[in-house]
Structure 1
Amino acid sequence: MGRLIRPDGLAVGERVRFDGQVRLVLAVTGRSVTLSDIGGTPRAVPPALLFANGDFEVVDSSGRMPLPPVSLLETLPQAALERALWWEGHILEVLNGLPPDAEAGTEPKPQYAPSRSL
């Protein structure tokens, strides 16, 4: 184990390097961080083990996406895919004030304005 590198925060949708692979953070609790695993089942890792890993780093925290790339979602039934994409847009609108497909200059709805508390 290397030195403990604890990020300021770790959130769902961020990409981290762990055990030589870049993985997507799927869930974060006080006891575990669930990471994606290409071609396998997600892996829950205790935060202390994750942060002490010699190659751990937050690779990308910009543009957090709650869902994996569409190519991975294509394995879902069409109805589930459409519903997941609808929820993604709605959640991003709640978090960012605007839906992902909003045109430049669009004002957020009052209930989603950045000045409102979640």
Structure 2
Amino acid sequence: MSVSRPSAVQVGNQIRWRDGLHIIVGIFGGLVRLRDVVGQDVEVLVGTLLSDPTFQVVTGGDPRIPLAPAGLIDDLPEEAVTRARWWEEHIVEVLRGYGIDAEPEQEPRPEYDPHTTSLRQRELAKVAELAELGQPVALSTFQRLRHKYAARGL
């Protein structure tokens, strides 16, 4: 059975919670990882976050991505996890315009701005960028990875 994230809790959301602004940088099982404006991370249970009267979504996040089972990547070799997170960073930049570790106020690079470029243009820009970095990938391969990420998450 596939578990979906509640629509109010998506990676990339900027939220107001308790005494400050945070960005949702990860969702793992029933935990949400938040990063505050000074870069400090905290994990909180999804139910705790959603039931807190101070919780408010300020900006939208990525398209809904199903949750992976808790601890799914924990048993993988470190090299595989590192590579998966590397791909995730590139895929997320194509989807929302900036990477996972971007500051909340950071503007997307022009070639990845979802407000001015199509998804296809962003994909082509990423494929070209990866080739320049010595990591060539076919557009169809990148699209397949993006679709898998959108369907199953990391």
TM-score (norm 2): 0.41
Within the alignment, does 1:55 sit opposite 2:91 as a pair?
no
Tell me the equivalent position of 1:93.
none
Identify the residue that residue 69 of structure 1 maps to in structure 2: 103
Query: 122, 131, 141: which is aligned to 1:99?
Result: 122
Distance 1:70-1:30 versus aligned 2 partners, 3 A rule: closer
Answer 1 or 2: which has greater helix percent: 2
Partner of 1:79: none
Q: Is the 8 A contact 2:26 2:32 kept in 1?
A: yes
**Are 2:8 and 2:57, in contact at CA under 8 Å, matched by a contact in 1?**
no
Which segments of structure 1 move beyond 2 Å, counting only runs of 4 or more? 37-41, 62-67, 69-72, 96-102, 109-113
Deviates most, 37-46 or 17-26: 37-46
Structure 2 unmatched runs, 5+: 62-95, 113-118, 126-138, 149-154
Q: 1:70 to 1:117 in 2, by over 3 A?
A: closer
Segments of structure 1 that go 5 or more residues without pairing to the other structure are 1-5, 73-84, 90-95, 103-108
Count, aligned residues: 85
- The residue number in structure 1 matching 2:41 is 42
**TM (normalized to structure 1)?**
0.52
Kindly report which structure 2 residues correspond to 1:8-23, keeping only aligned pairs within 5 A, or say none: 8-23=7-22
Larger radius of gyration: 1
Percent identity of equivalent pairs: 20
- What RMSD in Å do the two structures reach over aligned CA positions? 3.7
